[in-house]
Amino acid sequence: MKALVIHGHFYQPPREDPWTGEVERQPSAAPYHDWNERVQEESYRPNASAHIINAQGTIERTVNNYANISFNFGPTLLSWLERKHPDTYRRILDADKESAEKRGGHGNAIAQAYGHAILPLCGERDRVTQVVWGLSDFRYRFGREPEALWLPETACDNATLGVLIDYGLRYVILAPEQASRFRRKGTHGWQVVGPQGIDTTRPYRYVDPNGRSIAIFFYNGPLSRAVAFEKVLASSALLVQMFKQAALSGPLLNLATDGETYGHHFKFGDLCLAHALEIEAKDAGFWITNYGEYLDHHEPEFDVEIKEFSSWSCAHGVDRWQDDCGCHTGGEFSWNQRWRRPLRVALDFLRDKAAAVFETRGADVFIDPWSARNDYIQALLGAETFADFLARHGRRYLSESEKRNARTLLELQYNSLLMFTSCAWFFSELSGIETVQIMKYAARVIEILDQLGAPSVRPQFLELVAAAKSNIPEKGNGADIYLRYAEPNRVTFEPAFHEQ
């Protein structure tokens, strides 16, 4: 039997106002209140209860697509779904349990780096925290150990793979263009990946300088692009026919796309997926599985090395999230992305100032400030009370004012991490809602630093971010956009986390 694995990366950037915790109305998502609500109704909910339609046009049965595909959900999105759409949230968790029971303990869900930051562009401490928070969130929600972690935009380098190995992950999913060279295990003759690309029908082993390893699956690029962009979801028969053709080249066919492809990007894509996997692919003899189960039967026979600082969505690798790479997503043809570099410089400056304050002030209240930050996710999730958290991480018994100070310092870091959500750099315009969102996190960081009595960083931040220029003349520069859309939302400070 040919193995078939379809992976869906389900994700929305965090959209909550940093002060109120609520998502504000987003007119571009009309008729829905905001983009989370729109995509929930067009993709997340329909995939949780997809209809199988018979020849008479009536509903024959309802299936949970998440039980048939490998998937990851962004932690901040799952948090929103848990609060706003608990039925969808529960169906996602149920699908993982169902798949684990069917597939030898290998659930379909994998973890994701917490705030969807581009990990190769993170400093070492932030990269670790993004991974640790993503893994902790997964354990809390799915009740088991994750086997893999989705890298935002599949952005990868050797340091990032090293962190995944450090935390005991079994495999990772990358784009075929990210492979550099390969060799059969036990041999010395490396082969450079040529224009034909890497063979995606088998898993590979990546070995770090210390001899530790992790498996890598490279998804089928042409077929994944066809599903994501070429409207093959209009027909489940066509989709499965393409599966059959692609499967001729080897024992494994695996695809990876944004999960929103199924229903949001393509209307009725959820129905196509349900029919294809529940009926036609099975009839065609495919073994519908996930990566963990597949590895139980097919250990890697080849080693592989990757291209440093590569990603799935841009030929320029991670430059899309720091430079004017020339790739357009939305907007006018004449627009540029020269604003990306000064925006990142300004946020890097703010991050470093916040880190210095956190480390210095945190040493007064925490045994190890950075260890406390990594573990703060437990309190954010409600897995433990803040009092219990402080009992483990507090340097001593803390007074009430010291407890408030400790929480304020951790909220400083929470907002600092979310400043680097990747969507802020993905599109072509500085004043887009995703970029304004991270400016709000920046405003919150500046406000908290002020509350802590640190020297004001606002003037220098404004000077740095002013170097970012909007493509829309009336929008001005980054400082103009920040002052107009981010700072006016500042209200009386209320901690995002309340002691339970």
Give the pLDDT of residue 56: 80
Min mean pLDDT across 71-80, 146-155, 315-324, 431-440 is at 315-324
Do both 27 and 70 map to the same domain?
yes
Residue 184 pLDDT: 97
Instruction: Please indicate, yes or no, if residue 499 is contained in any of the structural domains.
Output: no
Average model confidence (pLDDT) across the chain: 95
Which pLDDT does position 57 carry in this prediction?
A: 83
Domain count, the chain: 2
Beta-bridge partner residues of 471: none
Q: Examine residue 181 and state whether it is found in any structural domain, yes or no.
A: yes
Please state the rounded mean pLDDT for residues 187-192.
94
Say what the pLDDT of residue 76 is: 97
pLDDT attached to residue 492:
47
Kindly state whether residues 155 and 240 are assigned to the same domain.
yes
Q: Is residue 313, in this structure, part of any structural domain at all?
A: no
Per the domain annotation, does 312 fall within a domain? no
Greater confidence, 43 or 490? 43
The answer to whether residues 231 and 266 touch, using CB atoms and an 8 Å cutoff, is yes
pLDDT for the residue 10: 98
If one counts every other C-beta atom within 10 angstroms of the C-beta of residue 349, the result is 16
Question: Are residues 14 and 138 part of one domain?
Answer: yes
Which domain does 110 fall in, by range?
2-306
Domain termination site, one of 276, 306, 336: 306
Number of alpha carbons in the 13 Å side-chain half-sphere of residue 449: 26
Question: What is the CB neighbour count within 10 angstroms for residue 320?
Answer: 24
Residue-wise pLDDT tens digits, 40-95: 999 999 999 999 988 888 888 999 999 999 999 999 999 999 999 999 999 999 99
What is the CA 355 to chain-centroid distance, rounded?
23
Q: Which residues, in sequence order, are bridge partners of residue 50?
A: 63
Examine the domain organization and report whether 156 and 103 are in the same domain: yes
* pLDDT at residue 497, rounded to an integer: 44
Please give the C-alpha separations between residue 455 and each of 274, 356, 449, in angstroms, as whole numbers. Answer: 57, 12, 8
Residue where a domain stops, chosen among 274, 306, 338: 306
Other C-beta atoms lying within 10 Å of the C-beta of residue 189: 7
**Average pLDDT of the segment spanning 434-451:** 97
CA distance 113 to 102: 27
pLDDT range class, residue 242, cuts 50, 70, 90: very high
Q: What confidence tens digit (pLDDT) does each residue in 373-397 have?
A: 999 999 999 999 999 999 999 999 9
Confirm whether 495 is domain-assigned. Answer: no
Task: Please tell me the predicted confidence (pLDDT) of residue 498.
Answer: 36
Please say if the pLDDT value at position 405 is more than 50. yes
CA pair distance 217, 200, nearest whole angstrom: 7
Let me know if residue 112 belongs to a domain. Answer: yes
CB under 8 Å to 494, separation ≥6 — which residues? 19
357 and 295 assigned to the same domain: no
Q: Quick one: average pLDDT of 226-238?
A: 95
Q: What is the pLDDT of residue 499?
A: 38
* Residue carrying structure tokens 């979801």: 233
Q: Which residue has the tokens 């000077």?
A: 463
In terms of domains, do 228 and 89 share one?
yes
Is residue 491's pLDDT more than 70? no
| Tokens 């039997």 found at | 1
Q: What is the mean pLDDT of residues 34-41?
A: 98
Residues 110 and 232 in one domain: yes
Same domain, 83 and 157: yes
As a whole-number percent, the residues of the chain with pLDDT over 70 amount to: 98
Inter-residue contact 342 to 331 (CB < 8 Å) = no
pTM: 0.96
Mean pLDDT of 320-336: 86
Domain of residue 249, CATH code: 3.20.110.20
Instruction: Establish if 271 belongs to a structural domain.
Output: yes
Burial category of 169 from C-beta neighbours within 10 Å (exposed 0-12, middle 13-18, buried 19 and up)? buried
The answer to whether residues 367 and 333 belong to one domain is: yes
User: What would the pLDDT profile of 455-480 be if each residue is shown by its tens digit?
Assistant: 999 999 999 999 999 999 999 999 99
Query: Which one of 246, 277, 306 terminates a domain?
Result: 306
pLDDT over 90 percentage in the chain = 92
Secondary structure E strands in 119-267 = 149-150, 171-174, 179-184, 191-192, 204-207, 213-218, 252-258
In this structure, are 129 and 222 located in the same domain? yes
Specify the pLDDT at position 488: 73
Query: For residue 84, which amino acid is it?
Result: K
Q: Is residue 498 part of a domain?
A: no
Q: Does residue 254 sit in the same domain as residue 333? A: no
Are 408 and 110 contacting, i.e. CB atoms less than 8 angstroms apart? Answer: no
Give the pLDDT band of residue 489 (cuts 50, 70, 90).
Answer: low
Residue-level pLDDT at 490:
55
Q: Say if residue 496's pLDDT is above 60.
A: no
Question: In the 8-state DSSP scheme, what is residue 484?
Answer: I
Please state the separation of Cα 5 from the chain's center in Å: 19
115 lies in the same domain as 258: yes
Whether 350 contacts 461, CB under 8 Å:
yes
SS3 368: coil
What pLDDT digit, counting tens, does each position of 266-300 carry? 999 999 999 999 999 999 999 999 999 999 999 99
pLDDT of res. 326: 82
Strands in 204-207's sheet, in edge-to-edge order, are 171-174, 213-218, 204-207, 302-306, 179-184, 191-192
